[in-house]
């Protein structure tokens, strides 16, 4: 196969071909679908082929995971999904540049612009944005270095690496200038908007800063002194496109259904809206009054009074959203989750690593993946909740009493001890397994 002139570049005194990038292969087979637009993805697929593009998708996921450590975007999982489109566009653009031997569309892409627009209302500083990019660029350079050493013959590696690092250097310079100008322009536009002062006041309250209740009520046009407040978080898929108008409309509709005496809605970005409802009682049946919104997760805190209650209920709504999105039964939307119903799990999973370790230690082989361990866990949980009365558990599960007795015995064999030993810890571990799911383990024996 003869390489076209567009796939060669003169770097220094040698002519460099970019053909080797077509040999890139991913290490995973369970990769998610593409996150960037077809305008970026399809040309890359046409020119590079499926395997190199899959390599780029895999690398973009890794870049997003690293950048999520320095960019506060609503939790690690949400941050990764928010960052994936821009990371993919970045990797694919540089990959095509290496193939052609010259930078292609240097600077910012539509995905990167949207990421910046999302970050400004969240008050992510420009330096953090650039720090995330620098971390990604370093990781991308390392990935190219490793791939080049695997694929390219030793006597050609020096010139290939020179090509790669020339392109990455030029890309970094162009990106830094373009994204800085774009960020500053968007920040000026946002700060000049009518929403900026209100959003800054909300964030000051949530951060626990000293704020006058009277001043805050005036700025927000929302009475913080005379009511209890229900914090609400509305989320939709982070891959959603367009603006936040439909999500805001869903929030307003839910608040109207609640019958609040007043309400406040704050658009965080196109995928998340925060809201508060003023209610007359701290024991108001909030969740029962909120209807499901198609494709939207609605998380609610409990009613709390005053300025501190405004912040406390929001924190509970955020915790409820986190639990809802981490559950093994999670769906993309159409759910209403009340903090009151998930409070225990929210507390237990505040440190996910500790929760997972505790669950694995307590359940042992009963925590294995597979249908049989799942059924045994479900039965054992019902048995404990029925105060170890098999007849009551059988009615709850709609099975025979002897089936419950048999399953409890099988569960004890996998646990390695009787149910009555560490009964409290076992109940907590079973509750965690029902929410976050077991860590993958060896197949369990058939019951």
How far is residue 337 from each of residues 66, 340, 418, measured CA to CA in Å? 30, 9, 35
Query: Using one digit for the tens of pLDDT, what is the confidence trace for 349-373?
Result: 777 777 788 888 888 888 888 889 8
Could you tell me which residue, 255 or 313, shows the higher pLDDT?
A: 313
The pLDDT value recorded for residue 260 is 76
Six-digit token string for 374: 């799942």
Six-digit token string for 236: 């939709």
In 3D space, the residue among 285, 382, 262 whose CA is nearest the CA of residue 340 turns out to be: 285
Q: Please say whether the beta carbons of 106 and 175 come within 8 A.
A: yes
In 3D space, the residue among 133, 123, 114, 111 whose CA is nearest the CA of residue 67 turns out to be: 133
Task: Please list, in sequence order, all residues whose beta carbon lies within 8 angstroms of the beta carbon of residue 336, skipping any fewer than 6 positions away.
Answer: 287, 290, 291, 292, 298, 300
Residue 447 confidence (pLDDT) above 50 = no
Q: Locate tokens 């637009």: which residue?
A: 37
In 3D space, the residue among 230, 246, 124 whose CA is nearest the CA of residue 186 turns out to be: 124
With respect to CATH, is domain 225-348 assigned 3.30.70.2730? Answer: yes
**What is the Cα–Cα distance from 368 to 370, expressed in whole angstroms?**
7
Query: For the ranges 55-64, 105-114, 134-143, 237-246, which has the lowest average pLDDT?
Result: 237-246
Phi and psi at residue 63, to the nearest 5°: -60, -40
The pLDDT value recorded for residue 438 is 65
The pLDDT value recorded for residue 313 is 94
What is the residue extent of each domain of the chain? 5-191, 225-348, 352-436
With respect to CATH, is domain 5-191 assigned 1.10.730? Answer: no
* pLDDT-above-70 percentage for the chain: 84
Could you tell me which residue, 3 or 176, shows the higher pLDDT?
A: 176
Query: Using one digit for the tens of pLDDT, what is the confidence trace for 247-299?
Result: 888 788 777 777 777 888 888 887 888 999 888 765 555 556 566 666 788 89
Mean pLDDT over 404-410 rounds to 92
């Amino acid at each position: 196969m003869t390489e076209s002139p567009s796939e060669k570049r003169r770097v220094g005194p040698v002519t460099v071909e970019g053909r080797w990038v077509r040999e890139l292969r991913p290490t995973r087979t369970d990769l998610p679908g593409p996150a960037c637009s077809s305008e970026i993805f399809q040309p890359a697929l046409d020119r590079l082929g499926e395997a190199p593009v899959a390599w780029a998708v895999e690398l973009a996921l890794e870049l997003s995971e690293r950048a999520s450590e320095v960019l506060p975007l609503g939790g690690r999982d949400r941050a990764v999904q928010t960052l994936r489109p821009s990371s993919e566009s970045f990797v694919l653009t540089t990959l095509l540049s290496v193939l052609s031997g010259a930078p292609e569309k240097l600077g910012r892409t539509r995905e990167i612009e949207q990421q910046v627009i999302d970050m400004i209302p969240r008050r992510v500083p420009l330096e953090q944005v650039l720090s995330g990019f620098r971390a990604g660029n370093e990781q991308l350079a390392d990935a190219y270095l490793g791939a080049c050493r695997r694929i390219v013959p030793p006597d050609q590696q020096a010139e290939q690496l020179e090509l790669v690092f020339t392109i990455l250097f030029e890309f970094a310079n162009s990106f830094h200038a373009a994204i800085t100008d774009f960020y500053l322009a968007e920040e000026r536009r946002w700060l000049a908007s009518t929403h900026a002062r209100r959003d800054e006041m909300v964030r000051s309250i949530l951060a626990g800063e000293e704020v006058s209740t009277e001043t805050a009520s005036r700025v927000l046009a929302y009475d913080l002194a005379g009511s209890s407040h229900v914090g609400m978080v509305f989320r939709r898929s982070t891959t959603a496109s367009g603006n936040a108008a439909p999500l805001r409309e869903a929030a307003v509709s839910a608040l109207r259904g609640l019958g609040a005496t007043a309400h406040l809605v704050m658009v965080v970005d196109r995928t998340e809206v925060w809201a508060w409802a003023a209610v007359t009682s701290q024991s108001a049946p909030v969740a029962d009054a909120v209807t499901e919104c198609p494709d939207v997760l609605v998380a609610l805190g409990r009613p709390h009074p005053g300025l501190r209650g405004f912040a406390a209920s929001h924190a509970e709504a955020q915790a409820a959203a986190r639990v809802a999105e981490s559950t093994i039964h999670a769906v993309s939307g159409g759910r209403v989750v009340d903090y009151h119903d998930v409070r225990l799990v929210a507390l237990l999973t505040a440190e996910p690593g500790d929760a997972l370790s505790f669950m694995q230690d307590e359940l042992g082989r009963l925590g294995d993946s597979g249908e049989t361990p799942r059924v045994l866990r479900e039965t054992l949980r019902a048995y404990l909740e029925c105060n170890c009365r098999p007849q009551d558990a059988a009615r709850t599960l709609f099975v025979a009493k002897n089936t419950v007795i048999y399953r409890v015995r099988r569960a004890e064999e996998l646990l390695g001890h009787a149910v009555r030993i560490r009964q409290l810890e076992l109940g907590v571990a079973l509750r965690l397994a029902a929410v976050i799911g077991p860590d993958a383990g060896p197949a369990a024996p058939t019951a």
